[in-house]
Amino acid sequence: MNAVPAAVASGFLLGLGLIVAIGAQNAYVLRVGLKRQHVFAICLVCSLADALLIVAGVAGLGTWIARSPELIRWVTLAGALFLTAYGIMAARRVMKTETLAPSQGSETGLRGTLAAGLAFTFLNPHVYLDTVALVGGLSAAYAGLARAGFGAGAAMASFVWFFGLGYGARLLMPIFSQPVSWRVLDGLVAIVMWTLAATLLFGLSGN
């Protein structure tokens, strides 16, 4: 039974290693957390989406994904277009002159917030290669309860990270009480989105 806790710990550390990075999904969750709009909902949806993909990978879907280059190609194209469009939206926010405080500005509907969160998750081809293929592939080193524990640990990392990021964002409120901080954030978001989109398209053209 000692193999199960060790597998859970290994899965948790792997999950954190894959998810703790500057990316489109994390940037979006951070912004939602700073605005304090639908924080619980977006954290829960992103966590559940990651958990779903991890379960699919541990169950064997990762092997099928790896053998479907056409599927990865279309997801990559859709993801690049989505990231480019969201980058443009972030760049437009930078150009606005009005003050944007966390408690001010237009209220984003729950449906739109969740739709964007799901898009950042499922239109990112790397999530299939990392969460599904990599976690699923590494889980093959375990058997029975240990394999399930490995997947559970990786999924747990997603919950810890997203809820920590979403609710921890309020600790940055003294910084984001200034409009210029929001402009800097949106500028960085735009750069990240466009860089990721260019990377996706460059990798696609290289295949």
Closest CA to 195 of 29, 92, 105, 84: 84
Phi, psi angles (nearest 5°) of residue 29: -60, -40
Distance, CA of 117 to CA of 43 (rounded, Å): 9
Average pLDDT over residues 165-170: 90
Distances (CA, A) of 133 to 104, 106, 139: 41, 39, 10
Phi, psi angles (nearest 5°) of residue 146: -65, -40
This prediction has a pTM of: 0.72
Domain ranges within the chain, ordered by starting residue: 3-206
- 8-63 per-position pLDDT tens digit: 888 898 788 778 766 778 888 988 998 888 999 999 999 999 999 998 888 876 55
Closest CA to 19 of 203, 199, 154: 154
